[in-house]
Every structure is written in structure tokens, then in C-alpha cells.
Amino acid sequence: MPSILVAYYSHGGNTRKMAQRISQAATEAGCQVEVRKVTDISVESLAQYDGVILGSPCYFGVMAAEMKSFIDKSIKLFGKGELTGKAGGVFCSTGGIGGGGELTMISLLAGLMIHGMVVQGSRKGGHFGPLAIGEPDERALAECDQYGQLVAGLALRLAR
């Protein structure tokens, strides 16, 4: 059974709620999922997972400093290609429409793609990943459900 880490940063709880919902959907789709705050895990632990989904709030159009620091530290895994070919995905919560949520997700995706990860997009809803405007509403939670299933499906296919 493929394993997925949902690593997130959350100050007010919105991104955490999204992480939990994505985790639940990925678990139901057949993956073993762990949800951890980026400040509570080591970058080295990323190598043990078949997939990684990163989530961050959007602050002034960019990811939280705690998430950026975590991604920067992942350079330790880059040289050996320890994340290459693994499933990846991202999600974000932001304060308002046009607040930079998609920019934040694109920068999170760049961090995964530079490692050679295979990232999951979506034809429906948030193409880059789930995006909540403020507290996750039913639309955002439905996107989280769908995205957890999509990334789990990708991890299952890649693990064959």
C-alpha cells in the first residue's frame, strides 16, 4: 500500500482542515496517509513516502515562511534524487479572491517538480490543487475530497 505524507503549515486552522480532509480521501482511496505540520517533521523523512502533498496558507501572495524553509531544506534530498518519480500535490488557503492563492500553489508545485516529482493537477475545480477562500466551505472541501482521491490514484499507479 503506497504511503503519502500530507505536510502543511497552518496558523489559523484553515489549512489544517484541508489537510485532514485530503488525508481522509486519500486513505479511503487505498493509501496509508500521515498528516504532519512541517514544523514537526524532518525533511529527511520525505524520502520514506511514495507521495507528498504540501499545503500552505497564502501570505501576501506567497507561501508561509515555515513552508518555504521546509522546501529550502529539502535540498538535502536533491543530490541523490530521493523524491524523483514520486507522486506530489499541493493545496492552499487564502484570505480572499485574488489574494495570491494560485501563485502560492504554483511556487509549491515548483518545489516538487524541481525534485522530479510527478504532480497531480485537476480538470475540475482548482486546476493546481484545492484552494479555500477563508475557512474551507463545501466547495473547497469537495475539492479536497477529489484531490485526495486523485493523488492517491497517482501514487497507486506509480507504485506498481
53: containing domain:
3-159
pLDDT band at 125 (very low <50, low <70, confident <90, very high): confident
pLDDT of 47 reads 97
How deeply is 124 buried, as exposed, middle or buried, from its count of CB atoms within 10 A (0-12, 13-18, 19+)? exposed
Tell me, what CATH number does 20's domain have? Answer: 3.40.50.360
Q: Tens of pLDDT along 63-105? A: 999 999 999 999 999 999 999 999 999 999 999 999 999 999 9
Q: Which residues contact 155 (CB under 8 A, 6 or more apart)?
A: 2, 4, 26, 31, 50, 51, 86, 87
- Residue 102 to residue 83: CA distance in whole angstroms: 23
**Looking at the predicted structure, is the pLDDT value of residue 156 above 90?**
yes
pTM of the model: 0.97
In total, how many domains does the chain have?
A: 1
